[in-house]
Chains A and B, each alone.
Chain A
Amino acid sequence: MRTLALLLVLFVGLVSPAAAQEDRPAEAPEKLEIGISTDEIAISSDFRGADLTIFGAIEGYDPALLAQRKYDIVVALEGPKDNNTVRIKERVFGIWVNRRSMTFELVPESYSLSSTRDVETIADPAVLNGVGVGIQHIRLTPVGFVGDGSNLTEFRDAFRRLKESGGFYQRDPGGVQFISASLFKATVKLPANVPNGTHIVRAHLFRDGVFISEKALPLRVMKTGIEQMISTAAYDHSLAYGAFSVFLAALTGWLASVVFRKD
C-alpha cells in the first residue's frame, strides 16, 4: 500500500510538472501581478511594428532582497503555436536540394522577450530550460523519430537563428524597468509581421536565480482591413474565393476582348 502511494506521488509528479510548479509560490511569499490595458489589439495591414507596455507588481516581496536587486522579471509575448519544419539544403549533383528536415511541435510563431537584464545571466540554463523562457530555452520538441538525436542541436540552433533574423523572435534585455519599489513596466515589441491569433503575455519572477512564480494573460491580435478580409475568405471560404478569382479573371478577359475589339 505504501509503495502504491509512493508510485502515485511519483506519477503525479511526472505527468504534471506544471502542477508542481504551481505549488512553489505557496512556499514563496512573492507573487506577480500584471495588467495590460486591453486584451485585444486590432492592427491594420500597414502595421510596421509597435511596442506593447505591460505593467506589473511584485507582491509579498522582501524589501531587503529588493534593495539588493535580487528580483528579476522576464516578460514574454508568445505568439500562436504551430508545428514548424526546419529543412537543410545539400548539394546533389551540383544542385541545392532540401535533404534533411526536422519538425518541432507547437512552437510559438513569434516570441518577444523583455527582461530586467540579459536572461542568460538571470538563472542557470537548467532553470531557464525548465521554465522554457528565453529564445535559447524555448521548448523545441521534435515530432516523430529523430534517430540518435545527434543533429537535434543543429536544427534547434538553425530554427532560433532563422526566427531571430526574420524578426519573429526578439529580445530586449533591459526592457523591464522598475518604476517604484515593486512596480515595474515591461515593453515588448510586436513585430511588423505579427501573426494573427491569440498571443500570451507571460511574466516570470526570479529571485536570485530561482524561479518563483509566473503569471499569464491572453492577448488577441486581430488584423483588420481589406487584406485580412481577403485572407480570411481564402482560408475559410476557399471554394467561393476560388470561384470568385476565376470569375474576376473571366470578366477581365471578356471586358478586354470587348473594349479592344477591332471589328
Chain B
Amino acid sequence: MTVYLPIAELSVNIFIILGMGAAVGFLSGMFGVGGGFLITPLLIFYNIPPVVAVATGANQVVASSMSGALSHFRRGTLDVKLGTVLLFGGLAGATVGIWIFALLRSVGQLDLVISLLYVVLLGTVGTLMLLESIRAMRRSASNQPVSLRRPGQHNWVHRLPLKMRFKKSKIYLSVIPVIGLGFGIGILTSVMGVGGGFIMVPAMIYLLRIPTNVVVGTSLFQIIFVTAYTTVVQATTNYSVDIVLAFILMVAGVIGAQYGVRVGQKLRGEQLRALLALLVLAVGARLAVDLVVTPDDVYSVISEGVYR
C-alpha cells in the first residue's frame, strides 16, 4: 500500500515507513534513546530528501520525548529548573542552527553537511559505546567490581561563575556550561533533526556531574521544547516538515518503544550497548560509503521554488 507524502513529494510504501518507525521506536525503548539519530539517516536511505528527513525527524522526536518525559515527570525524576536553563541555550542554538541550515541549503551543500555530520557523530558515538561495552563485558567476565566515577568529584566546570542552585538535582552549578551544552545540542537539533539525548546524557553525567537519576528525564524535558520549536521554525522557513510522514513514524515509534522497553529489561546492559554501538556504526558506515562512491549522476537540478 503506497501513501503519498505531500511535502517530500513522493509515494512511499506505508509498511516500510511503519516498520522503520517501529524498529527505531523499539530500539529507542530498549536503549532509552530518542531515536532521531537513527530515523533521519534511515529516511535518507529511503530516498526522502535530507531537508525533509531532518525537519520531519525533529517533529517525530517531539512525540517520543513527550511520552518519555511524562513518565519521568510522574516518577519525579525530572528537574524542571535545570531543564529550563538548558532550554534557554537550546532555543538559542536551534535558532542559529536553522540559520546555518538555510544558508547551507542555498549554497547546495546541505545534503553533504548532514551526511558528514552524521558520519562523524555516529562514528564517534558508536566507537565510544562499543569500547565501553567491551570493557564492561571483560570486567564482568573476570568478576571485577564495576568502578563508576563518583559524581561528587569536581573539575574545571565547577570553578565557573554564575552559579545556581538546582534543588531537585541537589547540585550547585554554574549556568554557563548548562546553557552552552543546550546551545550546542540545539544546533544539532536544527541541522540534523536529532533530540541529542545520546550526547546530552553522557555530557550531563560526566561533565556536569549531575545525578544520574534526573539526567534522562531532564534532557527529555528540554528536548520536547527544542524539537517543537525547531519543527515550527523549519515549517515556516524551509517548508520541509512532512506531517504525514511524521505521523506514521511517531505512531509506529511510540508503540515500538513499549515493546523495546520490555525486551530491554530482560537483556544484559553491556551486551545491549554493544549491539546498539554496532548498529550505530553500521548506519554511519553506510552514509560514509554513499559519500565516497561515485554517484550515478554527478549533475543534479533543483527548482528554486521562488514562484511557488
Contact = CB atoms under 8 A, between A and B. Distances in A.
Interface in A88-114: 88-90, 94-98, 101, 103, 109
B235 A239 contact: yes
A243 B109 contact: no
Interface in B216-239: 224, 228, 231-236, 239
B292 A235 contact: no
A107 B124 CA distance: 44
A108 B177 CA distance: 52
B109 A98 contact: yes
Q: Residue among B243, B244, B299, B304 with the most chain A CB within 10 A?
A: B299
B261 to A, nearest CB: 9
Interface magnitude class on chain B:
35 or more
B141 interface: no
Nearest to B225: A246
Interface stretch (B39-47, B56-64, B131-139, B185-193): B56-64
A248 B292 CA distance: 38
B112 interface: yes
Interface string B274-304: 0000000000000000011011011111111
B63 A249 contact: yes
Contacts of B77: none
B228 A238 contact: no
A245 interface: yes
Interface stretch (B154-162, B207-215, B247-255): B247-255
Nearest to B294: A96
Interface magnitude class on chain A:
35 or more
Contacts of A263: 74
B258 interface: yes
B232 A243 contact: yes
Interface string B31-75: 000000000000000000000000000011011111110110010
A106 to B, nearest CB: 8
B4 interface: yes
A242 B234 contact: yes
B146 interface: no
Contact of A234 (B112, B241, B295): B241
Q: Residue among A81, A83, A238 with the most chain B CB within 10 A?
A: A238
Contacts of A246: 59, 62, 228, 231-232
- 3 closest A-B pairs by CB: A253-B66, A242-B235, A256-B254
5 contacts: A96-B291, A98-B109, A230-B243, A246-B59, A260-B258
